[in-house]
Structure 1
Amino acid sequence: MPIPRMRLAMPDDEDALGRLDRETWAPTHSVRPPRQHHEPFFTPRSGPRDHLVAELDGRLVGYIRLGFPTELASNAHVRQILGLAVAEEARGEGVGRALLRAAVEEARRQGARRITLRVLGHNTPARKLYESEGFVVEGVQPEEFHLDGVYVDDIFMGRPL
């Protein structure tokens, strides 16, 4: 598979990103119900400027959402990964890793000193990816979520920039 092109999302990407989000939803990585067709992908809190997308042959195959963990000025030096999705046909091809690296670079460009994320305890592939890119477990909330009939840990991970 060719190397995906990374870029900031544009307003015109909304439909493609919403479709990708619905197609990749699973209880292994999402704590909210699946997004419905009528729900907008972009919101006032998370617009195009907060998303990096991976594109192959003009088609979106992944996105990563980067934002602030809180609205506090004292926390403005930290960025948090608030979502990551890769199309099924592009998995295992390095798209997730490329998106993660692009988010780290974007956080640096924005002047951040740290980057954090939350991942469900049973999402082993994502945890291995994050660890391979320098993220370490900084905290665990045991059985924080009840998903698909199972209690699941919420894992906090982070790394300096």
Structure 2
Amino acid sequence: MNDIDIVPIAEQHIDGFHQALDTVARERRYLTFLEAPPLESTRAFVRDMIDNGHSQFVAIADGAVAGWCDIRRHAQPIHAHGGALGMGILPAFRGKGLGERLIRTTIEDAQSKGLVRIELNVHADNARAIRLYERVGFVREGIGKDFVCIDGRYLDVISMAIVRR
């Protein structure tokens, strides 16, 4: 798994990021999307992340995006010390330590830019992700009951955060 590079996202990664996002979204299990937004919306999102210095990294395997992790600083001044984390890994690359490499790189970058609080929401049935988040220091802060409904199936969501001052 060490032959996969973790790099800051760049313009040339946008199409691959969009494809990876769509693949994970269409699994209908992990993300708040059921499919990726249109490519132009994804392009605008990534350009905004780059232009505003938000932390976003991609895992590159054989020239293709195999996963991503991003932390977007909150816009409101009273919340600007924190940001929200999102990530995904293509199915073939799961369970091999790539998620931990990605999340640690992204958290370190965000904290170097002054973020104190990083938060996320995870579906309560996503045990693998919850273990990863706890392993890198996230703690559970609350549960949203029936927070998500996918194909008529209601899921709780666990809110987690890591705070370092």
TM range (shorter): 0.7 to 0.9
Alignment of 1:5-154 (within 5 A): 5-25=5-25, 26-35=27-36, 38=39, 40-44=41-45, 47-49=48-50, 50=54, 51-68=56-73, 70-81=74-85, 83-154=86-157
Query: In angstroms, what is the RMSD of aligned CA positions?
Result: 2.0
Equivalent residues of 2:49, 2:72 under 8 A apart: no
TM superposition shift of 1:67: 0.3
Pick the structure with more helix per residue.
Answer: 2
The alignment partner of 2:92 has SS state of: helix
Identity %: 25
The alignment partner of 1:2 has SS state of: coil
How many residues align structurally?
A: 159
Amino acid at match of 1:78: G
TM-score (norm 1): 0.87
Unaligned runs of 5+ in 2: none
TM superposition shift of 1:42: 2.8
TM-score (norm 2): 0.85
- CA 1:136–1:3 in structure 2 vs 1: closer, same or farther (change >3 Å)? farther
The alignment partner of 2:30 has SS state of: coil
The alignment partner of 1:61 has SS state of: strand
TM superposition shift of 1:61: 1.2
Cα separation, 2, equivalents of 1:27 and 1:121: 14
Amino acid at match of 1:61: A
Cα separation, 1, equivalents of 2:58 and 2:34: 22
Cα displacement string for residues 8-46 of structure 1 (whole angstroms, at most 9, x for unaligned residues): 111121111111111222222123321266554233587
